[in-house]
Structure 1
Amino acid sequence: METALTALVGVRHPIVQTGMGWVAGPRLVSASANAGALGILASATMTTEQLRDAVREVRSRTDAPFGVNLRADAGDARERVRIIVEEGVKVASFALAPSRELIAELKDAGVVVIPSVGARRHAEKVAAWGADAVLVQGGEGGGHTGEVATTVLLPQVVDAVDIPVIAAGGFHDGRGLVAALAYGAAGIAMGTRFLLTSDSTVPDAVKAAYLAASVKDVTVTTAVDGLPHRMLRTDLVAALERAGRARALGQAVRRAAGFRKVSGLSWSRMIRDGLAMRRSRGVSRELSWSQVLLAANTPMLLRAAMVEGRTDVGVMAAGQVAGVIDDLPSCEELVGRVMREAGVVLGGLPGVGSPAAGLSPPRPIP
């Protein structure tokens, strides 16, 4: 199935595996790439040395194109860009909008730039700055998310920009891919669905918690870091939501003390990071001290679950689709299944002369 996305980045299928911190490491990314999707390596939770090693490990596992996700507001963003360029990475994706200068630097080096956005105006801005494509996430998506559903946000962005649009938030199967194409997208991006594969390094106990979750067990809360954050509802999340400001501050300090030992960050650095994270997302309301500390520690809260398997003290970012996923296929099995389903759905649409504008007719996929 050829779309503007497959043509742009050179993958076989219009599917993106998103750059999830502590989850999208070399094993998952290379498995996604070998399956014909665009695997995205998450670099925000790596040092620069670890990033270079991870890129080289992915390269040793696959000849297919892959990408690296960056935080545009990171103090060492330009050093990470240099690594991407030197190592010949095909795609740079961004969790926050990169500057015009950063986009130009990457494009001059032949790197495809794909920022992630949650609003039409943000898509318009990065498109005007020269982004090659844009990934738009609706409110169904996991992690920090907005309020507008994908079915409303996606067509707005498609109508507003003239670059390929990748749809994220609520996708897990071939029906979703066809729906996104019908809206005008060039492909879909999936996070939770790739997290729940046999190629994911997430501990089994954490995967079991995702598989056991219903749609109602996936919630949006501001209790963790003061920002809307979609995740599995756990005892930790419930406790944070029930806690008053003084109690929340005490909990945040205790958890911060423990995570500080793991991260090696000083108290002052953690507070600065928390405030910077807040400002980078344009949140204007005052941030409590507990939220400052928790914002700085959010990556470590995720690490506790995604790496250490501590569902009791960690948080588990999750898209709403977690409530409808019930298996752990390999990436190859998942991508093949999505494409077969898409072919069946496209072929079964009544009164359609061709599957979709710009698409080649679906072919049976073994």
Structure 2
Amino acid sequence: METAFTRLVGVAHPLVQTGMGWVAGPRLVSATANAGALGILASATMTLDQLRTAVREVKSRTQAPFGVNLRADAGDAAERAQLIVDEGVRVASFALAPSKELIGRLKHAGVVVIPSIGARRHAEKVAAWGADAVIVQGGEGGGHTGDVATTVLLPQVVDAVDIPVVAAGGFRDGRGLVAALAYGAAGIAMGTRFLLTSDSTVPDAVKARYLAAGVKDVTVTRAVDGLPHRMLRSEFVDSLERAGRTTALLRAVRHAAGFRKLSGLSWRQMVRDGLAMKHGKDLSWSQVLLAANTPMLLKASMVEGRTDLGVMASGQVAGVIEDLPSCAELVARVMAEAHSALDHLHSFAALPPAG
């Protein structure tokens, strides 16, 4: 199925596996790429050397195009951008809008730049700065999210920009792909659906928690880092919401120290990144400190399998996902469902006029 997005990045199918921290590693990304979709490697929780190693591992596993997700507000964003240029990575994905200068630098090197956005004005800004495409996430999406549904946000953005738009938030099958195409999108991006595959390295016990969840078991909370964060409801999330502010801040300090050790960042670098985050999101200093919770709490669940000590970021679609196909099986199924849905729609055009 050829669209403006598949032509832009050189993949067979208009499907994207999003760059989920601790989840979108080399195995998942390469499996997605080999299935003909765009896999995006999550780099925010990696050091520069770890990122280089991960990129090279993906390249050893696939010849297909793939992407790397970068934090535009990270102190070493320029170095990470240069790494993906040097390694010949096809796509640079951003969770926050990169600067006009960074977009220009990547494009000049032949890298396709695709920021993720959650508002029409953000799409207009990055499009004016030269972004090649945008991923638009509606409120149904997992992790940090907004409160505007995909069905409202997507057509707004499609009407506002003249670059390919990829829809995210609430997608899991071929019917969703066709619906997004009908809105004017050039593809869909899925996080939770790719997390729940046999190629995902998330522990089996954690996957079982996702599969057992109903739609109402997916909640939005500010208890992790002060920002709206969509995740599975759990006893641990309940305890975070019950905790007083002092307890939350003490926990954040402990996790900040843990993340500093894990990431190899100095306190000076963490403060610099915190300043960038504070400016970019207009956060209080306590919220910046609480933001250190996110990578460590996600790691506890997604890597260590400790759902009693970690959180499970999740889109609402977790409530209707029931199996763990391989990436190849998932992509083939989604595309077969999409073609079937299109055939069904075409059948209406063949009906004789009423009367």
What's the TM-score bracket when you normalise by the shorter of the two chains? over 0.9
Alpha carbons of structure 1 residues 287 and 79: separation in structure 2 relative to 1, 3 Å: closer
Match for residue 293 of structure 1 among 289, 292, 313:
289
Residue 213 in structure 1 maps to residue 213 in structure 2: yes
Deviations 1:262-319 (A, max 9, x none): 4566667656645543432244xx453xx44321231111111111111111111100
Contact 1:180–1:187 under 8 Å retained in 2: yes
Q: How does 1:196-345 map to 2 (within 5 A)?
A: 196-256=196-256, 262-263=262-263, 273-274=273-274, 276-283=276-283, 286-288=284-286, 291-345=287-341
Match of 1:116 in 2: 116
More deviation in 338-347 or 231-240?
Answer: 231-240
Any idea what SS the aligned residue of 1:220 has? strand
Mapped partners of 1:212, 1:287: distance in 2: 37
Contact 1:278–1:295 under 8 Å retained in 2: no
Match of 1:104 in 2: 104
Mapped partners of 1:225, 1:271: distance in 2: 16
Q: Which runs of 5 or more structure 2 residues have no equivalent in the other structure?
A: 351-355
Deviations 1:16-75 (A, max 9, x none): 000111111110000000000001111111111111111111111111111111011111
Mapped partners of 2:80, 2:256: distance in 1: 27
Any idea what SS the aligned residue of 1:39 has? strand
Alpha carbons of structure 1 residues 218 and 275: separation in structure 2 relative to 1, 3 Å: farther
TM-score when normalising by structure 1: 0.91
Match of 1:165 in 2: 165
Provide the identity percentage: 81
Mapped partners of 1:352, 1:225: distance in 2: 50
Alpha carbons of structure 1 residues 91 and 269: separation in structure 2 relative to 1, 3 Å: closer
Match of 2:353 in 1: none
Alpha carbons of structure 1 residues 267 and 110: separation in structure 2 relative to 1, 3 Å: closer
Any idea what SS the aligned residue of 2:153 has? helix
Match of 2:9 in 1: 9
Contact 1:13–1:37 under 8 Å retained in 2: yes
Contact 1:9–1:90 under 8 Å retained in 2: yes
Mapped partners of 1:302, 1:185: distance in 2: 30
CA RMSD, 1 decimal: 1.8
Contact 1:270–1:293 under 8 Å retained in 2: no
Match of 1:150 in 2: 150
Match of 1:347 in 2: 343
Q: How does 1:13-24 map to 2 (within 5 A)?
A: 13-24=13-24
How far off is 1:81 after superposition? 0.9
Mapped partners of 1:101, 1:303: distance in 2: 32
Contact 1:270–1:296 under 8 Å retained in 2: no
Contact 2:45–2:263 under 8 Å retained in 1: no
More deviation in 237-246 or 14-23?
Answer: 237-246
Alpha carbons of structure 1 residues 352 and 80: separation in structure 2 relative to 1, 3 Å: farther
Q: Which runs of 5 or more structure 1 residues have no equivalent in the other structure?
A: 354-366
Alpha carbons of structure 1 residues 246 and 307: separation in structure 2 relative to 1, 3 Å: same
Code of the aligned partner of 2:50: Q
More deviation in 233-242 or 271-280?
Answer: 271-280
Mapped partners of 1:259, 1:129: distance in 2: 33
Any idea what SS the aligned residue of 2:310 has? coil
How far off is 1:235 after superposition? 1.6
How far off is 1:216 after superposition? 0.8
Any idea what SS the aligned residue of 2:292 has? helix
Contact 2:74–2:273 under 8 Å retained in 1: no
How far off is 1:351 after superposition? 2.8
Mapped partners of 1:147, 1:136: distance in 2: 13
